[in-house]
Amino acid sequence: MMEKFNSSQPIYQQIVEKVCRMIVRNDIQGGEKLPSVRDMAIKLGVNPNTVQRAYQELERQFVIETRRGQGSFVIDDDTKKETLRNELKTQYVSLFIKDMQEMGFTPEEIVRGVKEYLEPSVVTKGGK
Amino acid sequence: MMEKFNSSQPIYQQIVEKVCRMIVRNDIQGGEKLPSVRDMAIKLGVNPNTVQRAYQELERQFVIETRRGQGSFVIDDDTKKETLRNELKTQYVSLFIKDMQEMGFTPEEIVRGVKEYLEPSVVTKGGK
Amino acid sequence: MMEKFNSSQPIYQQIVEKVCRMIVRNDIQGGEKLPSVRDMAIKLGVNPNTVQRAYQELERQFVIETRRGQGSFVIDDDTKKETLRNELKTQYVSLFIKDMQEMGFTPEEIVRGVKEYLEPSVVTKGGK
Amino acid sequence: MMEKFNSSQPIYQQIVEKVCRMIVRNDIQGGEKLPSVRDMAIKLGVNPNTVQRAYQELERQFVIETRRGQGSFVIDDDTKKETLRNELKTQYVSLFIKDMQEMGFTPEEIVRGVKEYLEPSVVTKGGK
DNA sequence: GTGGTCTAGACCACC
DNA sequence: GTGGTCTAGACCACA
């Protein structure tokens, strides 16, 4: 498959995020087995060490669980998953808002812009 | 200075966006002269041709105006600037929302997340 | 082959026009594949970058469509082709008339001149 | 001044045409003296021999008259001037029509295109 | 000086 | 193989 990775961020971090996104989207179910380090490395076209490091990080964050001799499994805990979901949300939201504010957009403009984009037909008055 | 550029997007495109952002933020005033192609190239640590291409694209979008033998100047037109501002806003918002929806967040969650981040103290149940 | 190019106009522009003319003349059919950037470069005796730039411009004008790894293809859309035809017509006509008027010819003289040239036997007093 | 000349045509020919255009436009009056070969050469940034050849050609066509020790003068003959005017007209018209026909435009389209361009408001029915 | 074009040759991503 | 980007360095036109 050979993914494309940004050079501006460590590849292992990008793998971590990718797996998190897939879990949050339910592309991977709770309890499901992840591909082995070796398989994942081949699939992504990166060094197995890089995948290994990503899996370690995911385990440290209690996102996956590694069982010796069996493989790595997504934590089957809805509460944990909910937490992960929220973390991801906050992360993306904060990055977005940082960018927007850097460009000089006011909080009101940002909220309005998001609302308008989601419901283009609505005039979106009533803000505040 | 030597900027850092993503490998995932053409450098000339990143320069285009950078200049747009600076204009929208009023880091560069309308009518102001941009650094010459060569100077900008040195500043960014890229080839003059790459900057040239970025400037050309900016001119095609009526963001800058280039006068042969004199230099490139930011368009001095508040209407155009407002348009540019709105385009940038839409662009960033749509990218953000696409990402969020891909991760399975509902429109309500997205709006709430943004609002909460902007006014952390408010519980945001009734839109303030 | 080694074409001859005017020095008074960028080569890439001349290539753009050449391709447009060929499409309008039906020398190239809608949907047909153009020579690859490299082949065309050899054929015209210019650098591949120059052809690349021409093709890019043609794509920007929706005259061709380029599929990564496959090649560049003439847009297969008769409406678009008709538009292109009209644009070319206007372009040539306006250039011609500008030249004629610069030389001091009146509109009547221009029209008459064109008519006489097209139907040499007719005296063209009453528009036939 | 340093003019720009096409590489596709001999420079002396381009000078001939330029002078003809100026005469037809009445930029130069009948009987008026042209700059000396040397001055013209400097003005155009070309070799005096090139100008000399252009003046010879103009004299051959009875467009100018060279008087030993005095210089070159535009023929002061309205009939001749009218002829010149017609020759220029035919030349431009034929080139234009050749181009248009090469692109596949029919005589009707050509005439209509010219008329429409000259009087944009007119519907131009009634052709033939 | 300025921007604009062109060449030569490299490397990448996609198919 | 395809197109797309980038660099290095050259030359031109304009002012």
| Closest-approach residue (CA) in chain A for B114 | A93
Domain-located, residue B71: yes
The residue among D9, D26, D87, D89 with the most chain C CBs within 10 A of its CB, best to mutate, is D89
| B104–A89 C-beta distance less than 8 A | no
Domain-located, residue D45: yes
Summarize pLDDT for B36-57 with one digit per residue, the tens.
999 999 999 999 999 999 999 9
How many residues belong to chain D? 128
Interface size, chain A vs chain B, as Cβ–Cβ contacts under 8 Å: 87
Comparing every residue's Cα with the C1' atom of nucleotide E8, the nearest one is C47
| D96–C105 C-beta distance less than 8 A | no
- Residue B94: count other Cβ atoms within 10 Å of its Cβ: 13
Residue D110 confidence class, pLDDT cut points 50, 70, 90: very high
Number of domains in chain B: 2
Token pair in block for residue D2: 């340093």
Domain-located, residue B6: no
Residue whose pair of structure tokens reads 């499901």 in the numeric block = A32
How many residues belong to chain C? 128
Whether B19 and B67 map to the same domain: the answer is yes
Residues 6+ apart with CB under 8 A from B71: B33, B34, B36
Whether A36 and A63 map to the same domain: the answer is yes
Average pLDDT over residues C46-63: 95
* B113 closest CB neighbour out of A7, A93, A107: A93
- What's the CA angle centered on B99, arms A78 and A29, to 5 degrees? 30
| Closest-approach residue (CA) in chain A for B24 | A103
* D8 closest CB neighbour out of C6, C93, C119: C6
Domain-located, residue A71: yes
Whether A60 and A105 map to the same domain: the answer is no
Domain-located, residue A2: no
Whether D124 shows a pLDDT value over 80: the answer reads no
- B45 φψ region: left (φ > 0), alpha (ψ -120 to 50), beta (else): left
> What φ, ψ does residue A117 adopt, rounded to 5°?
-70, -35
Please spell the DSSP secondary structure of B47-107, one letter per residue: -HHHHHHHHHHHHHTTSEEEETTTEEEE---HHHHHHHHHHHHHHHHHHHHHHHHHTT--H
- Residue B64: count other Cβ atoms within 10 Å of its Cβ: 24
Token pair in block for residue B54: 């970025």
Helix pair C48-60, C11-24: axis angle to 10 deg: 50
Average pLDDT over residues C55-82: 92
Average pLDDT over residues D24-29: 84
Domain containing B48 equals 11-76
Residue whose pair of structure tokens reads 């398989």 in the numeric block = A39
Residue A118 confidence class, pLDDT cut points 50, 70, 90: very high
Q: Which of A119-123, B82-86, B87-91 has the lowest mean pLDDT?
A: A119-123
Average pLDDT over residues B80-95: 91
Average pLDDT over residues C100-117: 91
> Helix, strand or coil for residue A4?
coil
Token pair in block for residue A28: 């991977």
Cα B76 to Cα B64: distance, rounded to the nearest angstrom:
9
Q: Which residue has the higher pLDDT, A120 or D29?
A: D29
Whether A83 and A65 map to the same domain: the answer is no
Whether D98 and D56 map to the same domain: the answer is no
C59 CB less than 7 Å from any atom of strand F: yes
C73 CB less than 7 Å from any atom of strand F: no
Cα D110 to Cα D103: distance, rounded to the nearest angstrom:
11
Q: Is the dihedral of CA C3, C6, C12, C14 positive or negative?
A: negative
* A89 closest CB neighbour out of B4, B88, B113: B113
Whether D65 and D89 map to the same domain: the answer is no
Partners of residue A37 on adjacent β-strands = none
The confidence score (pLDDT) of residue D45 equals: 76
Domain-located, residue D1: no
Contact between residue B61 and residue B19 where contact means Cβ atoms under 8 Å apart: no
C19 CA to F12 C1', in Å?
26
Whether B86 and B110 map to the same domain: the answer is yes
Whether B49 and B17 map to the same domain: the answer is yes
CA distances from D16 to A14, D20, D54, D68 (A): 69, 6, 5, 20
| Closest-approach residue (CA) in chain B for A115 | B111
Comparing every residue's Cα with the C1' atom of nucleotide F8, the nearest one is B47
- Residue D86: count other Cβ atoms within 10 Å of its Cβ: 13
Summarize pLDDT for A20-67 with one digit per residue, the tens.
888 888 888 888 899 999 888 887 778 888 889 999 999 988 889 898
- At A74, which helix (H) or strand (E)? strand A71-74
Average pLDDT over residues C27-33: 91
Whether C121 shows a pLDDT value over 90: the answer reads no
Domain-located, residue A126: no
Whether C62 and C37 map to the same domain: the answer is yes
Q: Which nucleotide is nearest to B12 (CA to C1')?
A: F5
Chain D residues touching residue C2 (CB < 8 angstroms):
none
Whether B5 shows a pLDDT value over 90: the answer reads no
Contact between residue D12 and residue D53 where contact means Cβ atoms under 8 Å apart: yes
Summarize pLDDT for A84-113 with one digit per residue, the tens.
888 889 999 999 999 999 889 999 999 999
D78 min Cα distance to partner chain C (Å): 15
The residue among B25, B114, B122 with the most chain A CBs within 10 A of its CB, best to mutate, is B114
With CA atoms as reference, report the closest residue to B21 among B74, B67, B94. B74
Residues 6+ apart with CB under 8 A from D16: D54, D57, D58
Domain-located, residue D123: no
> Helix, strand or coil for residue D58?
helix
| B90–A117 C-beta distance less than 8 A | yes
> Helix, strand or coil for residue C72?
strand
- Out of A72-76, B67-71, C39-43, give the one with best mean pLDDT: C39-43
CA distances from C54 to A118, C12, C27, C48, C64 (A): 39, 5, 18, 10, 11
- Residue A9: count other Cβ atoms within 10 Å of its Cβ: 11
| D7–C102 C-beta distance less than 8 A | no
Average pLDDT over residues D116-122: 81
Whether B84 and B71 map to the same domain: the answer is no
| D104–C25 C-beta distance less than 8 A | yes
The C-side interface with D (CB below 8 A) comprises 4-8, 21, 24-26, 88-90, 92-94, 96-97, 99-100, 102-105, 107, 109-111, 113-115, 117-119, 127-128
CATH of the domain at D36: 1.10.10.10
- Percentage of chain D surpassing pLDDT 90? 30
- Out of B107-111, B119-123, D36-40, give the one with best mean pLDDT: B107-111
Q: Where are the alpha helices (DSSP H) in chain D?
A: 11-24, 37-44, 48-60, 78-102, 107-118
Whether D53 and D93 map to the same domain: the answer is no
Cα B12 to Cα B51: distance, rounded to the nearest angstrom:
6
Whether D102 and D65 map to the same domain: the answer is no
Residue whose pair of structure tokens reads 């295109």 in the numeric block = D113
Q: Which residue has the higher pLDDT, B8 or B89?
A: B89
Tell me, what amino acid is at D99?
D
